[in-house]
C-alpha cells in the first residue's frame, strides 16, 4: 500500500527517539521513500548517521546547511511528501507548530507542507495531561492535523501513565490510513461482520465474549478506503463506526444471521470476523431472575452457524472466516475451511502476546483450501486487514483466469 510514497519522518528530542529507527525500518521495508528531519535535541538522543543508514537518504538537521542542490531543501521536501509524521513528537514541537513558530528545519517544513501531518506524541504523563498541551492538540486537530494517543505504561522518567510513544505497528497503521490512494476494490461489495453477539438470559444478563470488533472494523475501513462498498454488520461494541460504510447494528446471533442473509445477495466478498455465540439460552426470561437457589443450570440451544449456511450457498462469492483458537490451531482452522466451504481462513492463537481480542495488533496465519499456510509477523490490525484485502484480490484474479 505504501510503495513509492514519499514520507517525511520528523524526529524530536525525547528519549523515545531511540524507537524512531524501528518505524523508519518498517516504512523502508514497505517500499516508502523515507526522508528524515531531526531537531538538534533529537540528535543528542540518536545520531543522524543511524537514521541515514536505515532510511538510505540524507538526514536533515540544519536549516542553513549549504545545499548540494539548487532547491530550497525544506520546501522541496515539503512539496514532495505524501505525509509527514512526527515521531516522537514532544510538547515543544506541538506547542511551536500550534503557535505558528517556524524557527528550525522541522517546524518550517511542517508549516510549508500541504501533505497530512501526523503527530505521535511521547512525553512525561504530567506534560501530556497539561491543559496547555491538550489545548494545543485540540487546536491543531481542529486545523486538520492528526494525532495518535500515546501508549500507557512505565515511562522513561520513572512515572506510570500515558506518555509512551504509540506502538510502531499502530503508527504504521495510521500512516496506511492517511496515505492510501489505491482504489482497487471499486465496484465490489464487501459484507463484513464484527464484534461479539449477546444472548440474553433475562432483560439484564447475557452470554457473550470479549471481542471488541477492532479486527472487523479494520477490515471494513480498509476495504472502504480502497473503494469497496461495505456493509458492516456488527454486534455491540464501543469503537467508532468507520466513515462511509453501511452500518447495521445487531445484538444476538439470530439477528446477525437474519441481517447477513438479507444482504448476502449483494455481496461479492464476505469477511466473517464476528465472534458469534455458539449457543443461546433455551428460555429467555421476561423479567430479572432473582437469586435464591445455590445451584442453577442454564439450558442452552445451539445457534445456526452463519458461515456454514453461507458456505452452502456460496455461488461465486469469496468467503473468508476467522478462527480464534487456544489449542490445535492448524487442525481446527483447517477443519473450519472444509466444513464452512471457505476460500481461506485467518487463524490466530489468542494466547499469544499481541494477538486476539482487544489488542491493536494481531499475529495471524492465512490457511488456504489447498493446505498452504502463510505465517504473518505481529502487525497492526489495519495492516492485517490490508493483507486480507490483497489476498482476496489475488484470489479473484486467479478465479477470473479460470484457476481454482
By beta-carbon proximity to ligand CTP, the closer residue of 59 and 194 is 194
Whether the CB-CB separation of 271 and 232 falls below 8 Å is answered with no
By beta-carbon proximity to ligand CTP, the closer residue of 172 and 322 is 322
Contacts with 91 (C-beta within 8 Å, 6 or more apart), sequence order: 121, 123, 127, 128, 130, 133, 136
Smallest separation, CB 312 to ligand CTP (Å) = 12
- Cβ neighbours of 23 (radius 10 Å): 26
Smallest separation, CB 260 to ligand CTP (Å) = 8
Can you give the binding site for ligand CTP, defined by CB under 6 A? 253, 272, 274, 276, 278, 303, 305-307, 321-324, 336
By beta-carbon proximity to ligand CTP, the closer residue of 24 and 270 is 270
Beta bridge partners of 190: 230, 269
Smallest separation, CB 372 to ligand CTP (Å) = 19
Smallest separation, CB 339 to ligand CTP (Å) = 7
Residue 387 CA to residue 376 CA, distance in Å, equals 9
Q: Is 157 a catalytic residue?
A: yes
Selecting among 6, 98, 157, 176, the annotated active-site residue is: 157
Torsion of CA 47, 53, 55, 60, to 10 degrees: 50
Smallest separation, CB 70 to ligand CTP (Å) = 57
Smallest separation, CB 176 to ligand CTP (Å) = 24
Residue 32 CA to residue 59 CA, distance in Å, equals 15
By beta-carbon proximity to ligand CTP, the closer residue of 213 and 321 is 321
3-class secondary structure per residue, the chain: CCCCCEEEEEECCCHHHHHHHHHHHHHHHCCCEEEEEECCCHHHHCCHHHHHHHHCCCCECCCCCCCCCCCCHHHHHHHHCCEEEEEEECHHHHHHHHHCCCCCHHHHHHHHCCCCEEEEECCCHHHHHCHHHHHHHHHHHHCCCEECCCEEEECCCCCEEEEECCCHHHHHHHHHHHHCCCCCCCCCEEEEEECECCEECCCCCEECCCCCCHHHHHHHHHHHHCCCEEEEEECCCCCCCCCCCEEEECCCHHHHHHHHHHHHCCCCEEEECCECCCEEECCCCCCCCCCCCCCCCCCEEECCCHHHHHHHCCCCCEEEEEEEECCCHHHHHHHHHHHHCCCEEEEEECCCCCCCCCCCEECCEEEECCCCEEECCCEEHHHHHHHHHHHHHHHHHHHHCCCC
By beta-carbon proximity to ligand CTP, the closer residue of 85 and 260 is 260
Smallest separation, CB 272 to ligand CTP (Å) = 4
By beta-carbon proximity to ligand CTP, the closer residue of 77 and 347 is 347
By beta-carbon proximity to ligand CTP, the closer residue of 8 and 324 is 324
Smallest separation, CB 306 to ligand CTP (Å) = 3
By beta-carbon proximity to ligand CTP, the closer residue of 38 and 318 is 318
Residues marked as catalytic? 157
Amino acid at each position: 500500500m505504501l510503495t513509492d510514497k514519499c514520507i517525511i519522518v520528523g524526529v524530536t528530542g525525547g528519549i523515545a527517539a531511540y524507537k524512531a529507527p524501528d518505524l523508519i525500518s518498517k516504512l523502508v521495508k514497505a517500499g516508502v521513500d523515507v526522508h528524515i528531519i531531526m531537531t538538534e535535541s533529537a540528535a543528542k538522543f540518536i545520531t543522524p548517521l543511524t537514521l541515514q543508514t536505515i532510511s538510505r537518504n540524507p538526514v536533515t538537521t540544519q536549516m542553513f546547511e549549504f545545499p548540494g542542490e539548487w532547491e530550497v531543501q525544506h520546501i522541496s521536501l515539503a512539496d514532495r511528501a505524501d505525509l509527514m509524521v512526527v515521531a516522537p513528537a514532544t510538547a515543544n514541537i506541538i506547542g511551536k507548530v500550534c503557535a505558528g513558530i517556524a524557527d528550525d528545519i522541522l517546524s518550517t517544513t511542517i508549516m510549508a507542507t500541504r501533505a497530512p501531518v501526523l503527530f505521535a506524541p511521547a512525553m512525561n504523563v504530567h506534560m501530556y495531561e497539561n491543559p496547555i498541551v491538550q489545548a494545543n492538540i485540540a487546536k491543531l486537530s481542529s486545523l486538520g492535523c492528526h494525532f495518535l494517543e500515546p501508549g500507557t505504561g512505565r515511562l522513561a522518567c520513572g512515572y506510570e501513565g500515558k506518555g509512551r510513544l504509540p506502538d510502531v505497528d499502530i503508527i504504521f497503521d495510521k500512516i496506511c490510513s492517511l496515505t492510501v490512494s489505491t482504489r482497487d476494490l471499486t465496484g465490489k461489495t464487501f459484507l463484513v461482520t464484527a464484534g461479539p453477539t449477546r444472548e440474553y438470559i433475562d432483560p439484564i444478563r447475557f452470554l457473550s465474549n470479549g471481542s471488541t470488533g477492532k479486527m472487523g472494523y479494520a477490515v471494513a475501513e480498509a476495504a472502504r478506503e480502497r473503494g469497496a462498498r461495505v456493509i458492516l454488520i456488527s454486534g455491540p461494541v464501543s469503537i467508532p463506526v468507520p466513515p462511509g460504510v453501511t452500518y447495521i447494528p445487531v445484538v444476538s446471533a439470530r439477528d446477525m444471521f437474519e441481517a447477513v442473509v438479507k444482504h448476502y445477495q449483494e455481496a461479492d466478498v464476505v469477511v466473517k470476523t464476528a465472534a458469534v455465540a455458539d449457543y443461546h439460552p433455551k428460555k429467555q426470561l421476561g423479567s430479572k431472575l432473582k437469586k435464591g437457589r445455590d445451584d442453577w443450570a442454564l439450558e442452552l440451544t445451539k445457534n445456526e452457524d452463519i458461515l456454514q449456511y453461507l458456505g452452502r450457498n456460496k455461488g461465486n462469492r469469496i468467503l473468508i472466516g476467522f478462527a480464534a483458537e487456544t489449542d490445535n490451531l492448524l487442525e481446527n482452522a483447517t477443519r473450519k475451511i472444509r466444513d464452512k466451504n471457505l476460500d481461506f481462513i485467518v487463524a490466530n492463537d489468542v494466547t499469544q502476546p499481541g494477538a486476539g481480542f482487544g489488542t491493536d495488533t494481531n499475529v495471524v496465519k492465512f490457511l488456504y483450501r489447498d493446505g498452504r499456510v502463510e505465517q504473518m509477523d505481529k502487525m497492526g490490525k489495519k495492516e492485517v486487514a490490508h493483507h486480507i484485502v490483497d489476498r482476496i484480490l489475488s484470489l479473484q484474479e486467479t478465479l477470473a483466469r479460470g484457476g481454482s
